[in-house]
Chain A
């Protein structure tokens, strides 16, 4: 993998920030876009834009072909069995909310939803809202001090009333890669469907939903070099077929009359209104870009970056890593003795290093570790070991400032 050549596709990375070369290490929040994605969107708006699924004219046909072509690109990328299983959403958050609203309609008082301590707020709050509506109960499986799911305790929480399991494939705050195959196997052995929040996994290694055997898989375009406002809900067709619509509007209907309305087939039944067509076009371009590099190559390089960063930060005795799971994705969450993460984030920014500081939308994780927040550097395939050196040097400068 030629990172130097790859970086030429990302002009945004080649800039100075506050007088220093930018080291963009906030990829878990949002990744950057290669020219190929920007050009695909520009080309779409320049030549092909119209509304989809309804026009009789040429541009509408072209736009429809591009949008549905993007659906096929997504299907192939995650190896789903059918296009009917690919629902476009605004992002992971909307995908999870879709399941909470639609699948959630079958829940009764006393039913249970099982999540883990390490979930992002978007995999907590939709279930809390569902529990308020339905009288269902939210159960939370604990994690250990390394930030790993306690699998035995998780399995024990699978009960006769558990209606859904929803867990992160990869933790955004800790980097932990969850044992999702074991989770899915345990749940499905009891007939319980599983949603995997793939927001932090999708761009960092191959995802095969049939191999994972999950029932839902949710992810966002903007964390995989695609546009913001795009996302995907994969749903096993047998489950989606029984799920009622969650938003009403155009495109999701077959016939509408005041005496009654009939609904469209999957996946359109779950996609009300004119979608983000250009976003889907950009997302497909991002998937083609990632696929051309190779997901295995991406995973291997990011594992190198993780090992390099972990070793480099270990050279600073005052740095404490939060999240030391055996299986981790390419991110390091850490604190520096005597420096609040917010101050660290500002001092690093002044040296061109972009990281996230705070609770990472995972307040229960911070509570679990007794922290107000952490600093988090998260890597993408276009990052270099030089940028990690820049991070470590910047941490040392912050230490001198606050000494």
Chain B
């Protein structure tokens, strides 16, 4: 066997906070009486997620999820639940759009711990892992009956 290869430069993708959230996800549970829920699926890699939300007075009182997915997907879902709780629904929608924009070419600012996921934008094959939880949460808030999928690729991309 040859000598171990030097550690790859993956700090941009797997920041410590991302690894921490993937190992110990927050709010990974099924709440008793969710007002809203939606399912998301990434057929490319098999990631599956179910996102639950409880609302009060047009604010998100609780968000939780159940998922089977990669570290990026799980960490993103975990960070999302912390970012969304206590916010007004329109604010959460705006944050979801901001999140997707920040991971797109050109990038953008992400507030708080969500910034730990900004590096995902440098790995095109992984962007959808990070955006799946958000797409699913927004579908839940919209009470969309369709399963969300990350495979709606436009020919221009």
Chain A residues close to B by CB (< 8 Å): 18-20, 312, 339-343, 346-347, 350-351, 357-359, 366, 372-373, 386, 389-390, 392-394, 396-397, 400-402
CB distance from B140 to the nearest CB of A (A): 22
| Closest Cβ–Cβ distance, residue B101 to chain A (whole Å) | 22
Main secondary structure of the interface of B (DSSP, over half): loop
With A346-B123, A350-B8 as given contacts, are A389 and B45 in contact (CB-CB < 8 Å)? no
| Chain B interface residue number, banded | 20 to 34
Chain A residue nearest to B125 in the complex (CB) = A346
Residue on A nearest B68 in the bound complex, by CB: A372
Scan B1-36; emit 1 where CB is below 8 A from any A CB, else 0: 111110111100110000100000000000000000
Q: Name the segment of B57-65, B69-77, B78-86 touching the other chain.
A: B69-77
Question: What would 18 more interface pairs be, CB under 8 Å, given A343-B71, A397-B7?
Answer: A339-B71, A341-B70, A342-B72, A342-B129, A346-B10, A346-B123, A358-B46, A366-B46, A372-B47, A372-B48, A372-B69, A386-B2, A389-B1, A392-B1, A393-B1, A394-B5, A396-B4, A397-B8
**A interface secondary structure, majority:** helix
A38 to B139, CA, bound (A): 48
* In the complex, chain B residues whose CB is within 8 Å of the CB of A366: 46
Known A-B contacts A340-B69, A342-B129, A343-B72; the reply to A397 vs B5 at CB < 8 A is yes
B69→A402 contact, CB < 8 A: no
Report chain B residues within 8 Å CB of A373: 45-46
Q: Are A397 and B19 in contact (CB under 8 A)?
A: no
- Residues on B lying within 8 angstroms of A by beta carbon are 1-5, 7-10, 13-14, 19, 44-48, 68-72, 123, 125-126, 129
Known A-B contacts A342-B129, A389-B2; the reply to A18 vs B71 at CB < 8 A is no
B13 and A346 form a contact (CB under 8 A): yes
- Chain B residues contacting A397 (CB-CB under 8 Å) are 4-5, 7-8
Q: Report A380 CB to chain B, min CB distance, Å.
A: 21
Q: CB distance B45 to A357 under 8 Å?
A: yes
Contacts of B125 in A (CB 8 A): 346
**What chain A residues lie within 8 Å of B126 (beta carbons)?**
342, 346
Which A residues are CB-close (under 8 A) to B68?
A: 372
B102 CB to closest chain A CB, in angstroms?
19
What 10 pairs between A and B have smallest CB-CB spacing?
A350-B8, A340-B70, A372-B46, A342-B70, A342-B45, A343-B71, A393-B5, A373-B46, A343-B70, A389-B2
Distance between Cα atoms of A127 and B6 in the complex (Å): 48
Residues of A within 8 A of B47 (CB): 342, 372
Number of A-B contacts (CB under 8 A): 74
A107 to chain B, nearest CB (A): 29
Residues of A within 8 A of B72 (CB): 342-343
Is the Cβ of A351 less than 8 Å from the Cβ of B8?
A: yes
Give the chain B neighbours of A400 by CB distance below 8 A. 7
Cβ contact within 8 Å between A358 and B2: no
| Closest CB in chain A relative to B114 CB, distance in Å | 19
29 contacts between A and B (CB under 8 A): A18-B9, A339-B71, A342-B45, A342-B47, A342-B69, A342-B126, A343-B14, A343-B72, A346-B123, A346-B125, A346-B126, A357-B45, A358-B44, A366-B46, A372-B46, A372-B47, A372-B68, A372-B69, A373-B45, A373-B46, A386-B2, A389-B1, A392-B1, A397-B8, A400-B7, A401-B7, A401-B10, A401-B19, A402-B19
Contacts of B10 in A (CB 8 A): 346-347, 350, 401
Quick check: A390 and B7 within 8 Å, CB to CB?
no
Q: Specify which chain B residues have a CB less than 8 angstroms from the CB of A341 in the assembled complex.
A: 45, 70
Residues of A within 8 A of B2 (CB): 386, 389-390, 393
Which residue of chain B lies nearest to A344 when distances are taken between CB atoms in the complex?
A: B70
Q: With A346-B123, A359-B46, A373-B46 as given contacts, are A351 and B71 in contact (CB-CB < 8 Å)?
A: no
- Closest B residue by C-beta to A394: B5
Nearest-CB distance from A273 to chain B (Å)? 23
Nearest-neighbor residue (CB-CB) of A371 within chain B: B46
